Amino acid sequence: MTGRHAWTRHAYSAALTLLSPLIWQRVWREQVPGRPRAERLGCLDLPEDNRPRLWLHCASVGEVLAARPLIRELRLKYSDHALVVSTMTATGAERVAALMDDVPEVEAAAPLSHVFLALDFPGAARRFIERLSPQMAIFFETELWPNLLHACARRRIPIAVVNGRLSPRAFQGYRRLNWLMQQSLSCVDWLAAKSEPDAARFRELGMSSAHTSVVGSMKFDISVDDGSRRMGRELHAAIGHRPVWVAGSTHAGEDQQVLQAHRRVRERFADALLVLVPRHPQRFDEVARLCQDSGLVTVRRSLGRTPSASAEVYLGDTIGELQMLYGAADVAFVGGSLVPIGGHNLLEPAVMGVPVVTGAALDNFLDVAEVLRDAGALVEVADGDELAERVTALLEDVEQRQRLSEAALAVIETHRGALAATLEGLQVLYPPHSDAARSSG
């Protein structure tokens, strides 16, 4: 490492230390009962297991869901290892726990466990990597933590960034830290980018072209378990013959627009039901109050109730059920797109056969939105007023809903394959049953 690069990372670490009160305030609430907050400083309490470890980091619940096929395949391909998945958030931790039985019982599979990612202070990062001691480190999408990457590189741990994406907005932010990003990306042994524009942005920040591949988006390898499909159908049947639309992964400033849109939808369909699913559990109570203040009769799913005929809003205030709730709908709006968040996974409702509506803020899903748009499988709206118009029009037109859902399913099937390419690259970087694995066992 050059002296200039080392200086840059030390300056970053010093700035992180100065900001530590704000950082701790942010992560303090992201905790699971019974789990020590010392994990955030790299003090891990790992299961007793002599098997070599693989480590996969996913930021939160969305990344865990997108990585689900990869997690499953890693457990099967590296069955003589243990797979540790880290997250930054409590909701991500809960989704990892839900995946622990996500392999057939008849097949041998690596055990799966979860840890919270250490904050990127130098000492915490060093302790985290020393305690975890993975044979390979895999970062999902855009999680580039300089001290963690440096700690892996010092121990000669192969590092991969998979499903790599870098939105134009994120790229501009990273460009301001150009020297730091160059040093961080120099630690990465292989980058599997979602698209050529993503790869180009990574290369401009300093990623080696020789170590970069464009494999497509793993999001197209999305799968749905039979339980979610079944529960979605059962909920749809329990709701009865009513028009149902879901607004999933909504954010502050967006719920009000969705509720107002629902009022307009009900002008045409008096019995229409909105299933409203906020993105963050911390906002469940807040959104429940918004629903009540709007005068709409609201039922909370967390209370175990099915919406009655008089219910106007069904609040999805549970974790891990969004895809199932999409499956109970006639139309789905994907949130984070009417406010400057960057959107969420447009394929979650699509794979359930539900037509997809989104706002214009799609920085995080430009590649997915482009192929859906080109296939005529995406409805885009500018604001809450247009949302009401398009949802109403779709609820009126069964044939259009069918066309949209079939087009989206065809897109998903056509663009599958990133998972296989990613696994192939990871197995080149660290072969299953390698000498390193055997010597660590």
Instruction: Answer yes or no: is 399 within a domain.
Output: yes
Same-domain status, 212 and 109 = yes
Instruction: Answer yes or no: is 18 within a domain.
Output: no
Same-domain status, 105 and 232 = no
pTM of the model: 0.78
Same-domain status, 405 and 291 = yes
Catalytic residues: 63
Count of the separate structural domains present in the chain: 2
Instruction: Answer yes or no: is 15 within a domain.
Output: no
Q: What average pLDDT is seen over the chain?
A: 91
Same-domain status, 199 and 232 = no
Which structural domain, as residue segments, surrounds residue 156?
25-216+417-436
Same-domain status, 176 and 290 = no
Q: What is the mean pLDDT of residues 93-107?
A: 76
State residue 413's pLDDT score.
94
Q: What is the CATH number of the domain that holds 328?
A: 3.40.50.2000
Instruction: Answer yes or no: is 210 within a domain.
Output: yes
Confidence of residue 13 (pLDDT cuts 50, 70, 90): confident
Highest mean pLDDT among 24-28, 132-136, 227-231 belongs to: 132-136
State residue 441's pLDDT score.
41
Same-domain status, 249 and 110 = no
Same-domain status, 360 and 428 = no
Same-domain status, 145 and 258 = no
Same-domain status, 234 and 328 = yes
Q: Is the pLDDT of residue 18 over 80?
A: yes
Q: Is the pLDDT of residue 20 over 60?
A: yes
Instruction: Answer yes or no: is 10 within a domain.
Output: no
pLDDT 10s digits, 187-237: 999 999 999 999 999 999 999 999 999 999 888 998 887 888 999 999 999
Same-domain status, 244 and 184 = no
Half-sphere exposure at residue 139, Cβ-oriented, CA atoms within 13 angstroms: 26
Q: What is the CATH number of the domain that holds 116?
A: 3.40.50.11720
Q: Which residues contact 147 (CB under 8 A, 6 or more apart)?
A: 9, 12, 13, 120, 121, 122, 124, 125, 126
Q: What is the mean pLDDT of residues 241-261?
A: 97
Same-domain status, 169 and 286 = no
Same-domain status, 60 and 205 = yes
What tokens does 359 get?
């706002």
pLDDT 10s digits, 72-96: 999 999 999 999 999 999 888 988 9
Q: What is the mean pLDDT of residues 265-282?
A: 96
Instruction: Answer yes or no: is 286 within a domain.
Output: yes
Each residue of 276-309: b (16+ CB within 10 Å) or e? bbbbbbebbeebbebbeebebebbbbeeeeebee
Instruction: Answer yes or no: is 7 within a domain.
Output: no
Q: What is the mean pLDDT of residues 415-422?
A: 95
Q: Which residues contact 70 (CB under 8 A, 6 or more apart)?
A: 56, 140, 162, 163, 218, 419, 422, 423
Instruction: Answer yes or no: is 354 within a domain.
Output: yes
